[in-house]
Amino acid sequence: MAGTSYILQPIGTKNRVITLDILRGCAVLGILLMSIQSFSMPYSAYLHPLSFENLEGLNLYAWLISHVFANGKFSAMLAMLFGAGIIMISQKARKEHMRSSKLQYRRLFVLLLIGILHAYLLWFGDLLMAFSICGLFMFAFRSKSKAYLFKSGIIFLVVGSGLKLMLAYSIPFWEPGQFQLLESELWNPSAQEITNQISYYRGTWEQQMLNRVPDAFFMQTKIFFSEVFWKVSGLMLLGMAFYKKGVLIGKQSKKYLSKMFIYGIGLGLPLVVSGVLLDFHYRWSFELSYFYFSQFNYWGGVLMAIGYCGFIVLLCKISTRSFIAKSLSYVGRMSLSNYLMQSIICSFIFYGHGLSLYGDLDRSAQVVAVLALWVFQIVFSAIWLSYFQFGPFEWAWRSLSYGRTQPIRK
C-alpha cells in the first residue's frame, strides 16, 4: 500500500512529544532508587528492610525516602506511559488509514525477547517481560473510550489487590509448613541463606545464574500471574485513558493538571505513610505487612504516580526549554537504553564479574551511587543524542520491530 513505508517508520525527532519524553526520563531515573536495592542486597531486604540490616540514622532516612516516594510510583508511571505508547502508534496508523496490529505485535514480541535476556542474564527484577505480555493483551482495548479504559483499569487493579487479600484469607487452609516456607523465602531468610546468596552474586557469572535463574522464574510465574499482570495491565489501561484525554501530552488545562497533582499526592501520600507506620508498629509481621499493609502502598503508589504525572506535565506547560527539562527529555528518548544500562552498570558494581560489592553498600551509600548514575546517564544521553537519532537499544528494538535497519546517525 502507498502509505506503508511511511507508516512503518519510527516517529522522527522533530515529531516527538517532548512531554512524554520528560515523563519517561523521570520514570526511568526514579526506578533506580528502588532497583538498586535488589542489585546490591539480598531480595528479602527489598520487601523487609530489617531482614538484612538495622535501619538507623541515614539508612533509615534513605529507606523512607525511597519507599515513600519511589517504591511502585515510577514503575507505575512507566507502565502508564507504555500503555499510552500503544495508543499513540495506533492513532498514527489510523490517521494514515492503516492497521498497526502487525507492527504492535512484532514490537511487543521483540521487547519480550529483550526482557527474557535481561531477566536471566543480568537481573531477575526485569520489567520488560511484564510490559510486553501485558501489552499483548491490553492492545485489544486500544479502540475503547476513555471512560471504558479508565473503568477497566480500575477493575484490573482491584483484581490484583483482591487476589493478594484472598491469598491472605486462605492462610489457615495451607499445607503445614507452607506459610513458614514462604516467609523464609521472601521475608526472613536464615543467616545461611543470606550468606549463600551473597556468595553466589559475588562469584562468577555462572555462579550467579544458580541464584538468578530460579528467582527470575519465580518472578515471571507465580508473582506475575498473581500480582504483576493485574497491576501492570490496569496501569496501562489508565495510561491509555489519560493519553486519549490529552493529559500526558499537555492538552489538558493547568487547572485539571493541578487537581491531578493535589488529589494524587494528597490521597496517595497519606496512604503510603500509614502503611509504613503500621509496618513499624507491628514490627514487620510477615502476614500483616506482606499481605495487608502492602495494600496501602499498592493504592497509594498508583495515586502518587498519577499525581507525579500531573505535576510534571504542569511544569512542561510552563516551559520545556530549561536545562533540566531538556536533560530529562534526552534520558526519556533513550528510556530503554538507560533502563538496561542501569542493569549493566549495577551488575558490574555489585556482582562478581565486576567489583563484587554485593552486600557491602548500605542504603545511604546506595543513594550516593544512584545520584552518580543519574548524572552519568543525563550526560551520556545528551552526548549520544547529539550524534545519533536513537539510543543503541532503541535502534535495535525499532530495527527488529519495523523489519528493516533504521538509520541511526543524524
DSSP, residue by residue, 236-260: HHHHHHHHHTTTTTT-S-HHHHHHH
Quick check: helix, strand or coil at residue 177?
A: coil
Q: Which of 185, 157, 182, 188 is nearest to 167 (CA)?
A: 182
Q: What pLDDT is recorded for position 91?
A: 85
Confidence of residue 4 (pLDDT cuts 50, 70, 90): very low
Q: What pLDDT is recorded for position 151?
A: 98
* pLDDT for 338 beyond 50: yes
How does pLDDT run across 191-204, given as a tens digit for each residue? Answer: 999 999 999 999 99
User: pLDDT above 90 covers what percent of the chain?
Assistant: 88
How does pLDDT run across 160-178, given as a tens digit for each residue? Answer: 999 999 999 999 999 999 9
Q: Which of 275, 403, 266, 394 is nearest to 340 (CA)?
A: 394
How does pLDDT run across 13-32, given as a tens digit for each residue? Answer: 666 889 999 999 999 999 99
Q: Tell me how far CA of residue 9 lies from CA of 12, 92, 398, 402, in angstroms.
A: 8, 11, 9, 7
Q: Which of 26, 250, 27, 11 is nearest to 107 (CA)?
A: 11
How does pLDDT run across 112-123, given as a tens digit for each residue? Answer: 999 999 999 999
How does pLDDT run across 94-151, given as a tens digit for each residue? Answer: 776 667 788 899 999 999 999 999 999 999 999 999 999 999 999 999 999 999 999 9
* pLDDT for 59 beyond 90: yes
Contact assessment for residue 303 and residue 80, using Cβ atoms and an 8 Å cutoff: no
**388: buried, middle or exposed (CB in 10 Å: 19+, 13-18, 0-12)?**
middle
Q: What pLDDT is recorded for position 9?
A: 60
Q: What is the pTM of this model?
A: 0.94
Q: What pLDDT is recorded for position 95?
A: 74
* pLDDT for 6 beyond 50: no
